[in-house]
Structure 1
């Protein structure tokens, strides 16, 4: 589609504010928050003491001493426990801030037709304040699709008005309200991981083998070992030195080979028409060499792909 509109309000959102906010977040996550400027957004994982990933999300620097962190699962208690003794406040922003995602090649044109400020110079992973008429909003150039896209943050009482306005202005640009099935397809094409699908939070994994590190999930670039101590640093340093046990990769399913497998057992070949989220073993001969966690037909690549 030329522009997709999604409701991402269900994301968990926490405000961390105070003199020690930067130092605290720098200890909490693997990215170097000390270089995050006001108005900048950083994607980051965070880990337990053993270097196994708990969750991943974004950190927004709203002001000098104020940050918003987003996550897929509730993390408030874990954040509060780790903030003991620090000069800061932590509040749950999940129900006090609504968020909509506008993704696709025409997303910028739609927003420029509505916002009081041009988005032409807004860089990837930066945000700005603006207005949709009389409605104050924050707009970040972020998303979960791999395409040009933005996320719009606002008071929940304004969310329906903003939604309707985007659909009204967007009808000239091919806008389509979109759900999780389409989002799943887009994020698989982009190779973006999903908690509880592509990896299990280390807090919930029943056995050690189900836990994953950022290096195993292809997020080694987001682990900044040169910064001061952070949760899981020692374990991640050791893993970086020896290399990860396994790696997260994208794969292509060859249709001709798949047809042969079905033909051998007298069945017609078939694959799901929507993205799937099922742990599927991968074999080399008779030996299992890994497993796929999600996959779909890619309209962009014209191939069947999986992660």
Structure 2
């Protein structure tokens, strides 16, 4: 086993606090020009756009034209060597032996008690070469998972590889106008390809976090600005705009995708018992392959499957138009017996519905579900009790999201 961690930068005596400052994405010079509200937050130590102009406007760019979302802060790890597949297959709950070269899979990994560590994607770059991406730093867990595997090298690749998500119905037309349409036309969801670009290689994957047609572009960090410029020139007539975390959260909720620190807590970071979750509780049972002889948490998850989960994450369609943010759920309109809580909620502009993700006691799913919603009107607080209906399918997942080749605009 060989772990290659990022080198610590050398600090001069005049720059003692450099390590405390937020890092800048390779795309930051272009993003700073467009962030007219100067609305920044932080993600994994990077300065990161919450929004550029207005969240709802950026959301409609995703749904009606196309937008770019900076995924440089996403953690990226290269896992290479003869033991790479065996090591990763033991770590994650999904069967990686089925993953072909130039394909990607969504997966999750757990501790020995079956509690979620994180979720992410794994790219099979070659026979013995993989890339894992996830939302939070994971090098320490990868190092623990590699114990006993001598022929594997794990390298953190976050700062070396720039990533830009391009999402929306005109995303394919933009890529075609940029000159890579032939390469991505037959690309199916969770596939990727490589194309030459200004003297280097650009990797394009048909992936995203919006539930719509979209791609993610991966390139060496030093070529980030040429990529941005070429993409924005190609997308000028297709309504291309940058969007931030606020619009991303709206789109991913419509698609029914989970978000760390909203739908689940990472197990190593919780203190209270069962304040973290298992994949089965998060309705991700389809990611857990019990046909595999062994993986982290298998015994605990199998026992939970046999007994049934105490709670389950579900999608809710809620009456009215007041978002049920942080709402408590009850089994009757009288709000006496609490049965769950809302994790994410919004009024969906595209679906024209009041939607939410919620963690609910499994035994209560066959009965009535009511949300106690508090909202403000002209600075005055109001309380409303609204009936909820469980929905099985994503709130938003248009056919174009999977259509191959995609339609042009």
Provide the residue aligned with 2:232 in structure 1: 167
Task: Tell me if 1:204 matches 2:269.
Answer: yes
Post-superposition shift, 1:120?
1.2
Deviations 1:20-54 (A, max 9, x none): 00000000001111111110100001000011111
Among 199, 216, 226, which residue is 2:291 paired with? 226
Provide the residue aligned with 2:89 in structure 1: 26
Post-superposition shift, 1:85?
2.5
Higher strand share: 2
Task: Tell me if 1:306 matches 2:371.
Answer: no
Task: Tell me if 1:287 matches 2:337.
Answer: yes
Helix, strand or coil for the counterpart of 1:112?
A: helix
Q: TM-score, normalised by structure 2?
A: 0.68
Provide the residue aligned with 2:121 in structure 1: 58
Q: State the alpha-carbon separation in 2 of the partners of residues 120 and 62 from structure 1.
A: 20
Among 146, 157, 161, which residue is 1:93 paired with? 157
Post-superposition shift, 1:15?
0.6
- Counterparts of 1:38-187 in structure 2, within 5 Å, are 38-86=101-149, 87-116=151-180, 117-187=182-252
Q: State the alpha-carbon separation in 2 of the partners of residues 115 and 233 from structure 1.
A: 46
Q: Which runs of 4+ in 1 moved over 4 A?
A: none
Report if aligned partners of 2:84, 2:128 keep a CA contact under 8 Å in 1. Answer: yes
Q: TM-score, normalised by structure 1?
A: 0.91
Post-superposition shift, 1:141?
0.5
Among 229, 245, 262, which residue is 2:310 paired with? 245
Post-superposition shift, 1:134?
3.8
Q: State the alpha-carbon separation in 2 of the partners of residues 228 and 80 from structure 1.
A: 22
Q: Tell me the matched-pair count.
A: 289
Helix, strand or coil for the counterpart of 1:151?
A: strand
For CA contacts below 8 A with separation 6 or more, give which structure has more relative contact order: 1
Helix, strand or coil for the counterpart of 1:234?
A: helix
Q: State the alpha-carbon separation in 1 of the partners of residues 286 and 205 from structure 2.
A: 22
Deviates more, 1:133-142 or 1:65-74: 133-142
Report if aligned partners of 2:94, 2:289 keep a CA contact under 8 Å in 1. Answer: yes
Report if aligned partners of 2:183, 2:193 keep a CA contact under 8 Å in 1. Answer: no
Larger radius of gyration: 2
Q: State the alpha-carbon separation in 2 of the partners of residues 242 and 225 from structure 1.
A: 15
Helix, strand or coil for the counterpart of 1:248?
A: strand
